[in-house]
Each structure stands twice: as C-alpha cells, then as structure tokens.
Amino acid sequence: MAKKSKSVSSSSTSPASASKDVVLRMKSTRNATKKLTGQCVVTCEKEKRPMSIRKPKSKQRNKVKKVDTKLPKKPPTAFFYFLEDFRKEFQEQNPDVKSMRDIGKACGERWKTMTYEEKVQYYDIATEKRANFDRAMAEYIKRKESGEYQETDDDSEFDEY
C-alpha cells in the first residue's frame, strides 16, 4: 500500500520558490519516494539521485495533408459488398434490431461460415471494381505526370491551418 501526503512548499527567502508549488510525495514499500512536479523527476531515497527524468507531454500539431480531389477512390472489398446485401436481409428478418454493432457481428459470423462458392459472387464484383480503379489510377498518374493536374494554392478546396 502506498501512503500519500500532500505538502505545500514555499520559501520566502528565494524568489524562484515564491510561487506555491504542490509537491506530491508517495512512499512505496521499497522505500522509494516519487516527487511529481513540473518535470516529473523520480528519485531514490537510498542514493539521493534522479533515476529518470520524464518530460511533460507536449501537444503535437498534426500536419494537414493536401487532399487531392481528383485522386480516384479505392473500391470496397468483397466483404463490404456482402455486408450491403446482408444488412438488407437481416433488417427484413429482424426489424427490432437497430444496432449496427449487432448487425456487424452477425454479418462477420455469417461471412466466416460461408464457403468459397458462396463468396465468389462478391469476389467477382470486387475484382471488377478493383480493375476499374486500377485503370482510373493509371490514367490519373499519366495526367499528373504530364502536368494536367498541376495544383496551385488557390485550386484546393481545403484550407491549411
């Protein structure tokens, strides 16, 4: 069990410690004391030296990527085409179930139990859509390399932050 005690340290002699810092000291069963302050320094009582220094987490700015609106969108997989059909059937049979979680679970269980012959129709649809996507992507790359899709700063629909 760890004992917790809060103490407020303030000293009027030094101006650096004039602001009241709250120091939390926790004693564990191994006689180690943890001081949690701004930098989170962990010290050992026996050796009286810092064991590790952890920097506080800083907020990282996510860089906003430019979205190319002319880039072809990837097609769904065979499972998603099956999900589309299964959802309609499942809702007709179970009108009281509204949760997407329950529908998704039932769909996943059904997909796992299906044989390859039953899945072939969905794989065919997915393969056809993937071939269309590959052709569109090849055409997009040709146009981009030829300079037809040169995007300027004013072309983008999305603003950078």
CATH number, domain of 122, equals 1.10.30.10
More confident residue, 62 or 8: 62
Number of domains within the chain: 2
Share of the chain above pLDDT 70, in %: 55
**Is the pLDDT score of 93 beyond 60?**
yes
- Whether residue 95 is contained in a domain is answered as yes
Average pLDDT over residues 99-119: 93
Share of the chain above pLDDT 90, in %: 39
Note the Cα 55 to chain centre separation in Å.
23
Helix (H, G, I), strand (E, B) or coil at 116: helix
Contacts of 126 (CB under 8 A, 6+ apart): 75, 76, 77, 78, 81
Range of the domain at 120: 78-146
pLDDT at 131: 96
pLDDT at 76: 94
- Whether residue 154 is contained in a domain is answered as no
Sheet architecture: strand order including 32-36: 3-9, 21-27, 32-36, 41-44, 49-53
- Nearest partner of 158 among 71, 65, 63, 61, judged by Cα: 65
- Whether residue 4 is contained in a domain is answered as no
Among 6, 40, 55, the domain boundary falls at: 55
Note the Cα 69 to chain centre separation in Å.
23
**Least confident residue range of 61-70, 71-80, 91-100, 133-142:** 61-70
Clarify whether residues 82 and 50 are in a common domain.
no
Q: What confidence category does residue 11 fall into, taking pLDDT thresholds of 50, 70 and 90?
A: very low
